[in-house]
Amino acid sequence: MPAARSPRKPTSQLSQTLQNHVNMYALAAGAAGVGMLALARPAQAKIVYTPANQQIPLCDALDLDLNHDGVTDFVFYHCSTGQHGGVEVLTSSTRAQLNVVWGANRLAAALKRGFEIRPSKEHFQPGHGGMAFWNCTNYGQTCTTDGKWSNVNHRFLGLKFMINGKTHYGWARLNVVNKGGITATLTGYAYETVPNQPIVAGQKRGAADSGSLGALAGGSTAAQGK
């Protein structure tokens, strides 16, 4: 007599349905993951940094070409009106009407490291930006100094300028000594290659640079830029 066969379990319709759901879920999850990756990939910031050690000459101009295209973007000018009186002014100006500096009331702001230089109709101003001043009266017996850039180290100018008709942001770092005369030294500058992309003062690399963390820690407040 043949041995009894164990009853064969039929393939469950539920199992097939479950497999279909698993496959559909995997496809959906994969598509969602691709979508999330696509959303997480904005235009990558690319900073071009140039180290410098250039003193702004007395009664002469120092041209600043941020992106090294042979076109002057900003001009520093430093001069004195006389030995016993007058005023010595260090200014940042521009030869292009659309190139402007961060500041207010024709005074350039001395920004701290970590400040976010970003689009702002209020703080970017055309024309000259006064930086540091001195004035002597009574034949040199009484001298005073003024300006947000008087006696500062490693402070930053916020810059907005045009490349091929598109807006870019950058910074210039300077040391300024103002004691009976001004000595100003450009120590470095940088700009963001992506149009309309903010840049953090002191930032030398892309968005993952530690300078960005400084902006999130409070450097982006407008109070530092006034």
DSSP string covering 95-130 = SSTT-EEEEETTEE--BPTT-EE---TTTEE-S-EE
Query: What percent of the chain shows pLDDT beyond 70?
Result: 68
pLDDT, position 156: 98
Name the token pair of 23.
């496959």
Query: What percent of the chain shows pLDDT beyond 90?
Result: 46
Q: Which of 113-117, 133-137, 181-185 has the lowest mean pLDDT?
A: 133-137
Q: What are phi and psi of 162, to 5 degrees?
A: -110, 140
Q: Which residue did the predictor score with more confidence, 92 or 1?
A: 92
Q: Measured between alpha carbons, how far is 153 from 110 in angstroms, rounded to an integer?
A: 10
pLDDT, position 148: 93
Read off the pLDDT band of 88 (50, 70, 90): low
Read off the pLDDT band of 216 (50, 70, 90): very low
